[in-house]
Amino acid sequence: MVEMIGAKALIQALEKEGVDIVFGLPGGANLPIYDALVEANFRHILVRHEQSAAHMADGYARIKRKAGVCFATSGPGATNLITGIATAYADSSPMVAVTGQVPTAMIGKDAFQETDIIGVANPCTKYAFQPRSPNEIPETIKKAFYIAESGRPGPVLVDIPKDVQQGSADMSFPEFIKVRGYSPVIDADLSQLGRAVEILYNASGL
Amino acid sequence: MPKTASPMNSVVEKVNGWHILSAMLENKPGVLFRVTNLFRARNFNIESITVGLTEQPDLSRMTITLISDERTLDQLVKQLRKLIDVVEVKVLDAEKTVYRELALIKMKAEDPTTRMEITNFASIFRANILDIGKETITVELTGTPDKIDAFKNLVDHFGIAQLARTGVSALQRGRGQ
Amino acid sequence: MAGGGVILSGAFSELQALAEILMAPVVTTFKGKGSFPENHPLAMGPIGMHGHAEANKMILEADCILAVGARFSDRSVGRYDEFGRGMNIIHMDVDPAEIGKNKSVDVAVVGDVKSSLRTLVKMLSKVSVRRDQNTPWLKRREELIDHYAETIKDYPRDLTARKALKKLREILPADSIVTTEVGQCQMWASLHFDVITPGTFFSSTGLGTMGFGFPASIGAKAARSEVHVVDIAGDASFNMTENSLAVSVLDQLPVIVFLMNNYMLGMVAQWQRTFYNRRYMGVHQHSCPDYAKIAQAYGAQGIKAQSLSELELAVRAALKSEIATVIDITIDPEEDVYPFVVPGTGLKDMITGS
């Protein structure tokens, strides 16, 4: 357990996931994340429009076969990601999109650059997280990558309110996590495979 | 003009039945939204939906009733299971399940004969009279949806001022979860 | 029928082993393009709305379809009541919700397809199902390929979409990564650009997002910088996300934009030609902007190609370059994509344009 601010925990959690590049664009609501990025071990690519950040993360994921990561600020930054996220969802591409959000006390009050991005992203993501306290960040990131990359891959959104990025806490980075409602099947049922073999064996030529 | 898409598998017979599903969900904000949004987005037509706390504080139980064919039911169950906050989904066998709904029914009841008939019906149906006024009587009735429908049909001609139904809650009989 | 799931799972060698043990022709969905080498003797290319005619014909003649990591999308299968009729269908997929969603099947194998294919090949080799080169299916495959090579319409010009893409494949190293934008360019790529190394091709097939290809190609370059990366683009698509040229140049992620430029919203124009009596509305780009100049404005290389020989020079120059190159290729605005399966019709009703 080490004490650090949420933004730093985010960067470390990403490093632990083996992230070597992120694509993003900073704004008011993710400034703390961008400050922590200065010391990050991975590369940051500055985009000219957040939609491209999501598409770049998608293209990266399709070749690397692990989650591509993109960053955006709250409000219009986050909504600009949506086309890219929906593209990844429709094509089952693994992606973790991290957006800034207005401080928790301002949520739901139509603050500057606020949108209900969780609501907007829900139908086009495998899952959308919104950690409400800094110590939730390490586990949230680990779960996000697990969900994005396993089973039928897909995009996961992590929406971090600004005060959660700035707040300090004792962080522990879990080795293993379990997501109760999620158990992707890896090994097929052998009897079904047996039936397939039967059919294929008997399938004729012209 | 291009033709619109043709129906899928039109050869398959679609026989509708009444089904009850029980789902266990994470008890967190936003889960109900995800579930109902799924129904809307995939065009599943639900008859009733109830959700509430369970014996475990971090899980909610959701009971859904719907009328559909086997294939639609199968898809609905699979799509629900796919949601990460849905921990388990079961299609309940109506014969092996206890299921109940609560209805509050306010009827017009100005003349004495009507009031007496209503009181009689309430007693036969084991409904509780919650409110009596000069113009209306409100009863509370618990039972299967069929029982509630039956009561409603009986009192229809008195004039139902308002009706509120909760939708069905259900548990499997015996030790089944 | 190999779908995108094979690529997601990285099951290339397993798929090839299975195809070879069964000596079965392999078609792919459009998303599955690149799951199987398209120069393999069993390969037939993609099926579907703009699939290879011979692939569309072949899948209707089968007596058994093994669908691996595919979801039976309407773009691939045409009419659901016609597709797979009278045949056994085996569906292998990681997502149980896809089983029976669009198409009822005879056997469902739920699980990661790489692992399932590996087990299946093991089980098949135990029952010694190995067939030889003389199976009648291979002859039929040749027949169909030859037949459609004659009947599918191409244009007599020097520079057509088909010729341009064939030329690109000739020059581009086999391990290059290729992506596409959306529209005619995407469908021409489906038809005329063969993928040789599995796992080197992708496209926005589910959502069909214009403007996806260029930034995605930059992301792909970041993932594998030692190979060439090409975006087969249309002008209208490229216009949507061209500002990523800044990223490509400034962050040293050079890619090649193979811009098939007809200064039209090409696919929409084709539909308006075919279904709306050429009543064009909202499709003309009016030669605006000059894409070579746009590239240069961002510090990238911009080359115009108005003939096949200019195209060849441009591609060779792009391959040697250390910065991003936009090759602005002149394509006739009246050029259509064939063959074409009209939505709501079946694969057998495909229009060949002849």
- Compute the distance between CA of residue C321 and CA of residue C300 in angstroms, rounded to an integer: 10
Residues of A in contact with C223 (CB under 8 A): 59-61, 63-64
- Chain-centroid distance of CA B129 in Å reads 23
Q: What are phi and psi of B101, to 5 degrees?
A: -135, 150
pLDDT, residue B6, reads 32
Contact between A167 and A6 (Cβ < 8 Å):
yes
At B49, is the secondary structure helix, strand, or coil? Answer: strand
Q: How confident is the model at residue C130, as a pLDDT?
A: 61
- Say how far apart CA A65 and CA A43 lie, in whole Å: 18
Give the integer Cα–Cα distance in Å for B159 and C5: 59
Subunit contact B33:A119, Cβ cutoff 8 A: yes
Other beta carbons less than 10 A from residue A162's beta carbon:
23
| Nearest CB to B1 within list C103, C104, C275 | C275
For chain C, 354 residues long, give each residue's pLDDT as a single digit of tens. 999 999 999 999 999 999 998 889 999 999 999 999 999 999 999 999 989 999 999 999 998 999 999 999 989 998 888 898 889 999 999 999 999 999 889 999 999 999 999 999 999 988 866 666 677 888 899 999 999 888 877 888 999 999 999 999 999 999 999 999 999 999 999 999 999 999 999 999 999 999 999 999 999 999 999 999 999 999 999 999 999 999 999 999 999 999 999 999 999 999 999 999 999 999 999 999 999 999 999 999 999 999 999 999 999 999 999 999 999 999 999 999 988 888 888 888 888 876
Q: For chain A, what is the domain count?
A: 1
Q: Does B157 touch chain C (CB under 8 A)?
A: no
Q: How far apart are CA B15 and CA C131, in angstroms?
A: 44
Q: Show the tokens assigned to C291.
A: 């894409």
Radius of gyration in angstroms for the set of CA atoms belonging to chain C, rounded to a whole number: 20
Residue B75: CB atoms within 10 A of its CB come to 18
Chains contacting C (3+ CB pairs below 8 angstroms): A, B
Q: Which residues of A touch B41 (CB under 8 A)?
A: 123
* pLDDT value of position B8: 38
Give the β-pairing of A2-5 and A168-171. antiparallel
- Which residue range(s) make up the domain with A122? 2-175
The closest CB to that of B33, out of A122, A126, A147, belongs to: A122
Question: Is position A184 within any domain?
Answer: no
Q: What is the reported pLDDT for C154? A: 80
pLDDT for the residue numbered C133: 67
Query: Stretch B103-109: mean pLDDT, rounded?
Result: 95
pLDDT for the residue C354: 67
pLDDT digits (tens, 9 = 90+) for B117-137: 999 999 999 999 999 999 999
Q: Quickly name the fold that domain B98-172 has.
A: Alpha-Beta Plaits (3.30.70)
**Structural domain contains residue A194:** no
Opening angle at CA C136, ends C131 and C140, nearest 5: 130
Taking the C-alpha atoms of residue C74 and residue C34, their distance in angstroms, rounded to an integer, is 20
Tokens describing residue C153: 């319409």
Neighbours of A182 (CB within 10 A): 20
* Per-residue pLDDT tens over the stretch A116-150: 999 999 999 999 999 999 999 999 999 999 999 99
Size of interface B-C (CB pairs under 8 A): 46
Q: Indicate whether A185 belongs to any domain.
A: no
Residues of chain A positioned with their CB less than 8 A from the CB of C137: 205-206
CATH topology of domain B17-92: Alpha-Beta Plaits (3.30.70)
Burial grade of C68 (CB within 10 A; 0-12, 13-18, 19 or more)? buried
Q: Supply the mean pLDDT for chain B.
A: 88
Q: Report chain B's C-alpha Rg in angstroms.
A: 20
b (16+ CB within 10 A) / e for A129-145? bbbeebbbbbbbbbbbb
CB contact under 8 A, A126 and B84: yes
Taking the Cβ of residue C277 and every Cβ of chain B, the question of whether any pair is shorter than 8 Å is answered with no
Residue to mutate among C244, C248, C252, C257, with most A CBs inside 10 A, is C244
Residues B102 and C208: their CA atoms lie apart, in Å, by: 48
What is the side-by-side strand order in the sheet with C301-305? C201-202, C177-180, C229-234, C256-261, C325-330, C301-305
A91 occurs within a structural domain: yes
| Residues within 8 A of B (CB atoms), C 42-81 only | 74, 79-81
Q: What is the mean pLDDT of residues A19-45?
A: 97
| Nearest alpha-carbon partner for B87 in A178, A139, A118 | A178
Taking CA atoms, C161 is separated from A154, C25, C104, C202, C261, in Å, by 33, 27, 38, 19, 10
Cβ-based contacts of C218 with chain A (< 8 Å): 52, 56, 59
Q: Map residue B63 onto helix, strand or coil.
A: strand
* CB neighbour class for B135 (10 Å; exposed up to 12, middle 13-18, buried from 19): exposed
Please indicate whether residue B14 or residue A192 has the higher confidence score (pLDDT): A192
3-state secondary structure C262-327: CCECHHHHHHHHHHCCCCCCCCECCCCCCHHHHHHHCCCEEEEECCHHHHHHHHHHHHHCCCCEEE
Residue A171 covered by a domain: yes
For residue A82, give the H/E element and its range. helix A76-90
Tokens encoding A87: 């593209």
Instruction: Kindly list the structural domains of chain C, giving each domain's residue range(s) and its CATH number in brackets, ordered by start.
Output: 4-151 (3.40.50.1220), 161-330 (3.40.50.970)
Are A101 and A107 contacting, i.e. CB atoms less than 8 angstroms apart? yes
Q: pLDDT tens across C222-264, in order?
A: 999 999 999 999 999 999 999 999 999 999 999 999 999 999 9
What is the reported pLDDT for A204?
61
- pLDDT band for position A158 (50/70/90)? very high
| CATH number (domain holding residue A160) | 3.40.50.970
Question: What are the sequence ranges of the domains in chain B?
Answer: 17-92, 98-172
**HSE (side-chain half, CA atoms, 13 Å) at A147:** 27
pLDDT digits (tens, 9 = 90+) for B15-56: 889 999 999 999 988 899 999 999 998 888 899 999 999 989
Taken as a whole, chain C contains a residue count of 354
Please name the chains neighbouring A, where neighbouring means 3+ C-beta pairs under 8 angstroms.
Answer: B, C
Angle of CA points B100, B101, B102, to nearest 5°: 130
**Same fold for the domain at B17-92 and the one at B98-172?**
yes
- Model-level pTM? 0.93
- The reported pLDDT for the residue numbered C297 is 98
CA terminus-to-terminus distance, chain B: 54
- The single-letter code of the amino acid at C218 is I
**Cα–Cα distance between C327 and C334 in angstroms, integer?**
20
